[in-house]
Amino acid sequence: MQTFDRIEWEVFRNLDLDGKGRCLTREGRPFHVLLAQQFSRAELEELGALATSIRRIAKDRTGMAFLRERLSDKRAMLYFTQPSTRTFLSFCAACQILGIQIGEVRDTATSSEFKGETKEDSVRTFSSYFDLIVMRSQESGLAERMAWVLSHADRPVPIINAGSGRDQHPTQALLDIYTLQRSFEHQGGIDGKTIVFVGDLLRGRTVRSLSSVLTNYEGVRQIFAAPEAFQVSDDITAMLEARGAEFEKTASFEKVIPLADAIYMTRVQDEWDAVKGESSGVDVSAYCFTAAHLDALKPNAIIMHPLPRRGEISVEVDGDPRAMYWRQMRNGMWIRTALIAQIFERDGEIRDYEKSG
């Protein structure tokens, strides 16, 4: 197996997702975080446990002061050229928890890309000043390409993919898995659970990433409830078939609500419309979770959403204890903090601190 810093770009580019994932693991810990497929079950569990330790340590001032010293020698660049609220802010907060100072570019109109600089040169520039690059872009595969460029340059700093095109959102998958781990902690964990994905499953990168990561668990059944025009694409079903994972597609959301241990709602991703306004021709009114559906939901089930929502979950649902999306969002801050601590090998210190306390 070739490692990422040795492999030729064309060879890496042509690997399947599992092959790419294997290439990215470096002595059992992530360096670049580019793909949901690079995480094994053991790594997901370790990361979740670390996030929980950090969450506990952060409860008081002494603990916060300890965390803030972990990476006070580092700087991070948040290069977000695609809109973001939660992912951007939770990475900011994660950096602040660990004492990392941050710089940002959120619009290429204000950077030298506007003058015609290539993305490769922009990213090499960031790596001259910063120790970590977190990037979101609307271009599929861009984070991979940039990580490869840096791994073959004289200052290889890690890149975290904070969402690329329609294909990948690995850190969202991490926070979704952490939310599932926590929610089912006393119910036998994620194994054997039924996860119902709802909405625009065709273009949602969070669905694509989570669906793949869920195959690390035993006996998970995935149900995709969407109108025909927004059903999951063949790459997801082929991946699930190849891994022997149980799944089904349905047009009937209401029928599958009682089966769910977790319902994963998503919005229409109309920014990807080939022709402006084409999504508005698809009737998604039957794919909204309202207060009227609460009775049909199992007592221990949870309702998730990567957010932002646009009416797929009515606000009356927010007060139900099974509504998990706000806590899911906060979990994103903890898991991203854990991920960064792990990349910079400060996880051992954090575990020791928790043990000693």
Supply the residues annotated as catalytic: 86-87, 115, 136, 169
Residues of this chain, 2-61, that bind ligand NCD according to CB under 6 A: none
Q: Outline where DSSP puts E strands in 148-192.
A: 159-164
Given the DSSP bridges, would you call strands 159-164 and 194-198 parallel, antiparallel or unpaired? unpaired
Which one of 95, 306, 312, 339 is in contact with ligand NCD (CB under 6 A)? 306
Specify the residue, 131 or 167, whose C-beta has the smaller distance to ligand NCD.
167
Binding mask 75-114 for ligand NCD (x = CB under 6 A): -----------xx---------------------------
- Residue 168 touches ligand NCD, criterion: CB under 6 A: no
* CA distance linking residue 191 with residue 173, whole number of Å: 16
- Residue 169 touches ligand NCD, criterion: CB under 6 A: yes
Tell me which amino acid residue 284 is.
V
Q: How far is CA 174 from CA 83, 164, 179, in A?
A: 20, 15, 9
Which one of 76, 77, 288, 307 is in contact with ligand NCD (CB under 6 A)? 307
Strand order in the sheet with 132-137: 101-105, 75-80, 132-137, 159-164
Which one of 122, 164, 172, 211 is in contact with ligand NCD (CB under 6 A)? 172
* Total of chain residues touching ligand NCD, rule CB under 6 A: 11
Residues in the chain, how many?
Answer: 357
- Residue 163 touches ligand NCD, criterion: CB under 6 A: yes
- Residue 199 touches ligand NCD, criterion: CB under 6 A: no
* CA distance linking residue 275 with residue 262, whole number of Å: 33
Specify the residue, 46 or 167, whose C-beta has the smaller distance to ligand NCD.
167
CB of 206 to ligand NCD, least distance (A): 5
Residue 243: how many CB atoms within 10 A of its CB? 12
Specify the residue, 91 or 344, whose C-beta has the smaller distance to ligand NCD.
91
Q: Outline where DSSP puts E strands in the chain.
A: 25-26, 29-30, 75-80, 101-105, 132-137, 159-164, 194-198, 221-225, 246-250, 262-265, 302-304
Residues 304, 331: contact at Cβ < 8 Å? no
Which one of 32, 267, 293, 346 is in contact with ligand NCD (CB under 6 A)? 267
- Residue 170 touches ligand NCD, criterion: CB under 6 A: no
CB of 88 to ligand NCD, least distance (A): 9
CB of 71 to ligand NCD, least distance (A): 23
> What is the distance, to the nearest Å, from the Cα of residue 31 to the centroid of all Cα atoms in its chain?
16
- Residue 151 touches ligand NCD, criterion: CB under 6 A: no
Tell me which amino acid residue 299 is.
P
User: Closest residue to ligand NCD, Cβ-based?
Assistant: 306
Residues 103, 135: contact at Cβ < 8 Å? no
Which one of 52, 53, 206, 222 is in contact with ligand NCD (CB under 6 A)? 206
CB of 152 to ligand NCD, least distance (A): 29
Specify the residue, 236 or 350, whose C-beta has the smaller distance to ligand NCD.
236
Residue 319: how many CB atoms within 10 A of its CB? 8
Residues 304, 178: contact at Cβ < 8 Å? no
Specify the residue, 206 or 231, whose C-beta has the smaller distance to ligand NCD.
206
Q: Which residues bind ligand NCD (CB under 6 A)?
A: 86-87, 163, 169, 172, 205-206, 266-267, 306-307
